[in-house]
Structure 1
Amino acid sequence: MLLLLLLQISASCLWLGRSEVVTSFEHSCPQFFFKETPPNEALEPKNAARICQRYKNKYYFATLYDRDRRIPVYSAYLYQPGSGKRPKTWMVEPQLMDSVYPSSMAREWVLINYYNVTLEQISKSQAVLVDYKNLTGLNRGHLNPSGHHPDNSSRTATFTLTNIVPQNEKLNGGAWKNYEQQVMIKETQGCATTYVVVGAVPGNNYIAGGRVNKPSHLWSGVCCEMDSDKELKAWAVIAENDRNDVQFVSLGELEEALSQLYGRDQVSLFDRDCPRD
């Protein structure tokens, strides 16, 4: 018993962050959603997991994860860009295996060496690093990008495979990168608080021998509270995941497009007060 305790204490020194699989975003990490209102259930997959992504005892964003397709449906965060280095360490979510495991992001080798699990166990309900090796024309595409956060801790928290999809490399390094790094700066001028929900539409193709879905589209919706008089504005983008092109649309147009792509109920990404025009 003492040995197990010592091993757990040693392992805790190697954790890079903390995250929790929760039953409700509204009760656990509502601060990342405009008026504490997450997207409605029209985007929810059959085997969903809600993750409040926490690092060094602080929440940084929220992710709805598809355990079966092994990709995030969306990640929600506050846009607060700042200077800093790009992290290099990748983590996974232990609680996607089972709730008995720690509510902490961890590197794969930490789980394997200190919690007596196998890579096969980890990989059953989430992507692992080997899934993204030897890709052709694709790379690891952040939904919630590290550059939209102000410091090393918040940037590191985005480097979890629960926040990653197989993204067309030309799109990721071209038009999508331009939107993330240039257009967002321009569009958020005058915003006091900027809420972002960025997601991926499941596609018909897979990588890693059918384990990880390649999304057909990537999209992002933004709701901005202006500095003056709490005025609101919104915008959105959508991109096909095999073309280096990003289409700028209204929030309402994005929600309508997603409703058609998912073929279920009408999609709502934000509280109704966020303008759709």
Structure 2
Amino acid sequence: MLGLLLLQVLASCLWLGHSEVVNSFADCPEFFYAGTTPNDALHPQNPAWICQSYNDSYHYATLYDRDRRIPVYSAYKYQPGPAKRPPKYWCVEPQVSDSFPGTFPSWDTLVDYNKMTGLTHGHLSPNGHMDSKESKTATFTLTNIVPQDENLNSDKWSKYEAKTVPQMSQGCTTTYIITGAVPGNTYIADGRVNVPSHIWSAACCLVGNQPSKAWGAIAENDKNRVKKVSLGDLENMLGTLYRGRRVTLFNNACPRQ
């Protein structure tokens, strides 16, 4: 019975229009300020560019690491709305599942996150930052989550998403957000899914059509603490974590200090 229900949920994901694996974000540039994506310093060896869609509409964009089975980052516009949180059904993109190509992903992919201890599903693009039922539902895909420390996810990171971002976004016409995860040295699910060492987020606030301010946040994935920093400092910190690479997250017009 459970298996049949799960197949029905997966089928509904596909019928309503699953996300598209594309060659670049040129198909969904609207989630990046001025169409400028982060530079390739964050790119994994085996990436997938995903325009995350649901019900025939794009809702955000994700760069996915096929080898580590986690997203590198998800980019979206901050547009909170009154729609209710959808049921916690997890969709999977069959195009990035290499163990069972075809209509449905493999069962091992679906149970990867059921074997975690001290970790939980960490959204990069959170449903609370979306406005409609469709856009909130679109965030419930395994290509948008990472194994996140459950205390961090339920406490300090949740407060950052629910309180700090709304406060910082007051007066902004549009707030562009990119939230990502730094690959770590440990894995779950028999070595299939990487556990990130850090979770980070960056935002660029526009007043009218001009960038007014920007900021960043970063947290170690085994500590319940979030550090708010400037965009420039976050890029420098990520550069160090990515072995000295120069990291650029937003268009140069977004303030770094």
TM-score (norm 2): 0.90
Cα deviation for residue 151 of structure 1 reads 1.1
Q: Which residue of 2 aligns with 1:105?
A: none
Q: Which residue of 1 aligns with 2:4?
A: none
- Quickly say closer, same or farther: Cα 1:12–1:245, change in 2 above 3 A: closer
> Would you say the 8 A contact 1:74–1:143 is kept in 2?
yes
> Would you say the 8 A contact 2:211–2:255 is kept in 1?
no
Distance 1:76 1:14 in 2: 22
> Which of residues 226, 247, 253 is equivalent to 1:267?
247
| Matched letter for residue 73 of structure 2 | Y
Instruction: Check if 1:31 corresponds to 2:11.
Output: no
Q: Tell me the alpha carbon deviations over residues 42-88 of structure 1, each in whole angstroms, 9 at most, x when there is no partner.
A: 00000000000111111000000000000000000000001222221
> Would you say the 8 A contact 2:38–2:250 is kept in 1?
yes
Instruction: Check if 1:22 corresponds to 2:3.
Output: no
Rg larger for: 1
Instruction: Check if 1:190 corresponds to 2:171.
Output: yes
Q: Tell me the alpha carbon deviations over residues 100-139 of structure 1, each in whole angstroms, 9 at most, x when there is no partner.
A: x78xxxxxxxx34xxxxx626xx6xxxx220111321100
- The gaps in structure 2 that reach 5 residues or longer are 1-10
> Would you say the 8 A contact 1:42–1:264 is kept in 2?
no
For 1:144-183, what aligned pairs fall within 5 Å after superposition? 144-183=125-164
For 1:176-255, what aligned pairs fall within 5 Å after superposition? 176-227=157-208, 230-255=210-235
SS in 2 for 1:254: helix
- Quickly say closer, same or farther: Cα 1:226–1:68, change in 2 above 3 A: same
Q: Which residue of 2 aligns with 1:258?
A: 238
Distance 1:180 1:15 in 2: 31
Where in structure 1 do 4 or more consecutive aligned residues deviate above 6 Å?
Answer: none
SS in 2 for 1:129: helix
SS in 2 for 1:132: helix
| Matched letter for residue 28 of structure 2 | C
> Would you say the 8 A contact 1:167–1:241 is kept in 2?
yes
- The gaps in structure 1 that reach 5 residues or longer are 1-10, 103-110, 113-117
SS in 2 for 1:177: helix
> Would you say the 8 A contact 2:21–2:95 is kept in 1?
yes
Q: Tell me the alpha carbon deviations over residues 182-225 of structure 1, each in whole angstroms, 9 at most, x when there is no partner.
A: 11110000000110000000000111111100000000000010
TM-score (norm 1): 0.84
How many residue pairs get aligned? The number is: 244
Distance 1:218 1:13 in 2: 27
